[in-house]
Amino acid sequence: MNLRYRLTRWALSKWVTPRVIDADSAPAPDHPIYVFANPSVTDAAMLDLVAQNSGRPRPVRDGERRYLALNRPTGFWRRLTMRSAPAELETLLTADGAETSQDTLVPVVVFWGRAPSRGWSFWRAFFSETWSVTGRFKRLINIVINRGDIYVSLGTSLPVSEAAGDDLPANRRGRRAARLLRVRLRNQRLAALGPDFSHRRTLVQQIVHARAVQIAIANQAKGDTRLQAKLTSKAQKQARTIASDLSYPTVRVLESLLTRFWNRIYDGVDFNGAERLAELAQNHTLVYVPSHRSHLDYLLLSYLLFHRGLMIPHIAAGDNLNLPVVGSILRRGGAFFMRRSFRDDEIYRAVFSEYLYQVYRRGHSVEFFPEGGRSRTGRLLRARTGLLRMSIGHQLRGLPKPIAFVPVYVGYEKLVEAASYLAELRGENKRGESLGDVFRSFRLIRQDFGRVSVNIGEPLFLDRWVAETKAPASASAAARLGEELMVRINKAADVNATNLVALATLDTPRLAIEADDLAGLIGCYQKLLEALAWPTTERSPQECINHSEALQLVERETASYGEVISLDTNTAVLMTWYRNNVAHTLALPSLIACFITNRRRPISAAGLQSMVDTVFPYLARELSMPETAGDVRTVADVLVRQGLLEATEQDGYAAPPADTTEHHRLRLLAAIVLQNLERLYLAASLITRAPLSRKELLRASQSAAQLLARLYGLNAPEFSDRRLFDQFVDHMLERGAISETADGTLAPGEIVHSVTRLARFIIPPPFQRAVQRVGTRQNEHSAP
């Protein structure tokens, strides 16, 4: 190493703290040759620091330089315009034994402050790193100003043996390898910075002059030139209202404020599964589709992506957040705004669709919430189809990089907006979406809100999905896509301490349980979740209870008879929200427990499988799960190992003796989905008792559910949610369980009668009798 290199490396080690973006999911190569776009001693020295800190082979080893640059400076201004392959690369690929070489070419990009380009200007060109002289000056400024925002990106490697083994003449191998490496280096820059920003005014003009927008204007103008000019001006205004205006200085300010905010209210934020994103972003346009449970969701995700060295997504936000000052800050932080509904405005629909296409075409990552609004019940809502339908259409229209949907599960131990949610869950009118909810909650900033988990799920590649399903850009195709994304979001769930306490306490008598019994039940659930491959908290059962008490979610009573953990009435309603987050993780074991806990005789494995297969699809649709239960025996055997079931000699299963702790736990496990099944039984029973139209059935089901919730003290506010009954009817129509007759009434099929017969094994007899009475009264009211 020469003196200049050593001094540069020493100076950097004293001043900067670089971070790594590893875009290659494969293990780090043992014999890398690092490849830069342009020659730079500071880049090489920075890579040396990162390699040493991460245990990777260093770029200078034993006095040998193990890195090269693709471009070479030429001319008086030393401009980097040489696009042929460098001599070092050609020598490497044509040397004897190159076809069997163990060396690997690793593309490297060093980001000295991540400010995406925003069009051309003299000063930006003067300070551009394209020219080595001015590039050094700009780099010096960035080292001083952005020393905490320096990233080293390691891209997808290219084995020398692969590049040298091509059936090409020796003089063309180097050029082909250089071309491949340049593409990978460019993709690394795009994944971290995003593409160059077009000037906002130019983007607006492109949108307004797009074919679809011009057709929408012409349809309304009907040849009137004055009206057409007026509508064109209206379209321009709409485009400006929609478009994001991402500003790097604003992002840096928000990053600093949010870092302090997270550290103040949270014990920590876990970002799981993000390792695959850097590699995925190189060849796909990423569309993040998170669960939406808090206004903090989009702040958290953008913050975490920025800290990972990834492009900040453009975020779809409701126009109700486009407020004075706040709207401008959000817009500069990456938000673009949309109306809640624009079905009846053809021009706005065309403008918004074209804006979304331009964002996709440029390769920007995007984030939107498929549920539309925040979930007040804690469970995933049915996906809205508007943006999904547009995305399918844009994929079919053609994009440089195909869309990859990235499901994101966000789990909270304690919700910042809990107070407003509690009021709505108790029956108050729903408040409009407003960022003010968060600001009003800042008075709670001295509270502890536990930890947050942000989990990346299995990506869905839209081009493959469209090819496999042959789906057009229709509402039905978008609905299927939405269901699949909801399932993938729930598959990324993990179960935190609050979730476990909620699962274990909500169905106890009088919302109280002895502390030792609660710890035993939580431990049982943790083992069950672990056996079913669901991630859960590392806290012990007792630590889960203590943590929930510290978060003021449970109360502890200590007396001579022992310790009791209880919920007050208000907290119990709120705890249903935390239970609903993860009810799907134990839904199948809970359903099995429902079928067995009240049976006097054992049930065969085949009989249990048949009963589960009949009911599970409807439960799965409501809880956003795959609708196939799979081999029930596997889950039943897990319950046997936990002592919750007993295996019989006749290849069957039975409940433990009624006076045992295990039987008590089995009953509590069954209660997790019992209210879901009671609601399904209610709707199915009403269908079989009298001919009802869809509208009449929904009204009768909701009214009956409200009455039964009052009579039986059901704490789950979603028990009478009309949307859940509506979804159930849709699913029965889809599966052919019911049909719509010529006069508009719903006719039950045999499967509905089977479901109601199965109810006698699950639904408590008092509840069955209450439903029968409600059905009888309904018949009397509907009789002429």
Condensed to tens digits (0 to 9), the pLDDT of residues 207-245 reads: 999 999 999 999 999 989 899 999 999 999 999 999 998
Assess whether pLDDT exceeds 60 at residue 442: no
In the predicted model, what is the mean pLDDT of residues 32-51? 89
Q: Residue 562: its pLDDT value, please?
A: 85
Tell me the pLDDT of the chain averaged across its residues: 85
**DSSP class per residue in 569-595:** HHHHHHHHHHHHHHGGGGHHHHHHHHH
Q: Residue 760: its pLDDT value, please?
A: 75
Contact status, residue 489 vs residue 457, Cβ threshold 8 Å: yes
Q: Residue 426 gets which letter from DSSP?
A: T
In the predicted model, what is the mean pLDDT of residues 427-438? 56
Residue whose entry in the numeric block shows the structure tokens 């499967």: 751
Q: Residue 714 gets which letter from DSSP?
A: -
Beta bridge partners, 65, equal 60
Contact status, residue 715 vs residue 573, Cβ threshold 8 Å: yes
Q: How far, CA to CA in Å, does 771 sit from each of 683, 700, 725, 728, 775?
A: 10, 11, 15, 18, 6
Assess whether pLDDT exceeds 60 at residue 522: yes
**CA angle 711-716-722, nearest 5°?**
90
Backbone phi, then psi, for 196, in 5-degree steps?
A: -60, 135
Contact status, residue 494 vs residue 581, Cβ threshold 8 Å: no
Backbone phi, then psi, for 370, in 5-degree steps?
A: -60, -25
Q: Residue 144: its pLDDT value, please?
A: 67
Contact status, residue 203 vs residue 243, Cβ threshold 8 Å: yes
- Which band of pLDDT confidence, cut at 50, 70 and 90, is reported for residue 664? very high
pLDDT, one tens digit per residue, over 72-101 is 766 555 555 556 788 888 888 878 777 778
- For 548, residues 6+ apart whose C-beta sits below 8 A from its C-beta are 497, 498, 501, 554
Give the type of residue at 783: A
Distance CA 194, CA 114 (A): 10
Q: Residue 124: its pLDDT value, please?
A: 42
- Among 241, 148, 246, 143, which residue's Cα sits nearest to residue 195? 246
Contact status, residue 616 vs residue 644, Cβ threshold 8 Å: no
Enter the tokens of residue 655. Answer: 């409940």
**DSSP class per residue in 418-469:** HHHHHHHHTTPPPPPP-THHHHHGGGGTTS---EEEEEE---EEHHHHHHHH
**CA angle 363-368-372, nearest 5°?**
155
Q: In what order do the strands lie in the sheet with 646-648?
A: 603-604, 652-654, 646-648
Contact status, residue 725 vs residue 718, Cβ threshold 8 Å: no
Angle of helix 722-735 relative to helix 661-689, nearest 10 degrees? 70
In the predicted model, what is the mean pLDDT of residues 42-62? 88
- For 780, residues 6+ apart whose C-beta sits below 8 A from its C-beta are none
Distance CA 519, CA 521 (A): 6
Beta bridge partners, 647, equal 653
- Among 195-199, 521-525, 578-582, 755-759, whose mean pLDDT is lowest? 195-199
User: At 560, is the secondary structure helix, strand, or coil?
Assistant: coil
pLDDT higher at 433 or 134 = 433
Residue whose entry in the numeric block shows the structure tokens 């315009």: 81
- Which band of pLDDT confidence, cut at 50, 70 and 90, is reported for residue 444? low
Q: Residue 119: its pLDDT value, please?
A: 45
- Among 521, 526, 533, which residue's Cα sits nearest to residue 492? 533
Over its C-alpha atoms, the chain yields an Rg (Å, rounded) of 30
**Total count of residues recorded for the chain:** 784
Q: How far, CA to CA in Å, does 770 sit from each of 40, 92, 682?
A: 79, 82, 10
Q: How far, CA to CA in Å, does 583 sit from each of 47, 408, 458, 526?
A: 46, 17, 20, 14
Highest mean pLDDT (candidates 51-60, 175-184, 618-627): 618-627
- Which band of pLDDT confidence, cut at 50, 70 and 90, is reported for residue 723? confident
- Among 759, 734, 758, 739, which residue's Cα sits nearest to residue 749? 739
CA dihedral 205→210→215→221, nearest 10 degrees, is: 10
Contact status, residue 235 vs residue 347, Cβ threshold 8 Å: yes
pLDDT, one tens digit per residue, over 340-399 is 888 789 999 999 999 999 999 988 999 999 998 888 888 999 999 999 999 999 999 999
Q: Residue 780: its pLDDT value, please?
A: 60
pLDDT, one tens digit per residue, over 143-182 is 666 667 788 888 888 888 887 766 677 668 888 888 888 8
**DSSP class per residue in 260-304:** HHHHHH-SEEEEESGGGHHHHHHHSEEEEEE--SSTHHHHHHHHH
- Which band of pLDDT confidence, cut at 50, 70 and 90, is reported for residue 443? low
Report percent pLDDT > 90 for the chain.
44
- Which band of pLDDT confidence, cut at 50, 70 and 90, is reported for residue 250? confident
Give the Cβ contact number of residue 140 at 10 Å: 12
Q: Residue 246: its pLDDT value, please?
A: 83
pLDDT higher at 440 or 598 = 598
Assess whether pLDDT exceeds 70 at residue 187: yes
pLDDT, one tens digit per residue, over 266-283 is 999 999 998 889 889 888
- Among 154, 171, 28, 29, which residue's Cα sits nearest to residue 89? 171
In the predicted model, what is the mean pLDDT of residues 308-329? 86
Assess whether pLDDT exceeds 80 at residue 433: no
Give the Cβ contact number of residue 97 at 10 Å: 10
In the predicted model, what is the mean pLDDT of residues 620-630? 93
Assess whether pLDDT exceeds 70 at residue 432: no
Beta strands in 297-413 (DSSP E): 314-318, 335-338, 366-367, 403-412
Give the type of residue at 723: R
Q: How far, CA to CA in Å, does 357 sit from each of 210, 392, 397, 695?
A: 11, 11, 9, 38
pLDDT higher at 421 or 175 = 175
pLDDT higher at 414 or 246 = 414
3-state secondary structure 533-547: CCCECCCCHHHHHHH
Distance CA 645, CA 656 (A): 6
Q: How far, CA to CA in Å, does 471 sit from each of 110, 395, 400?
A: 41, 11, 20
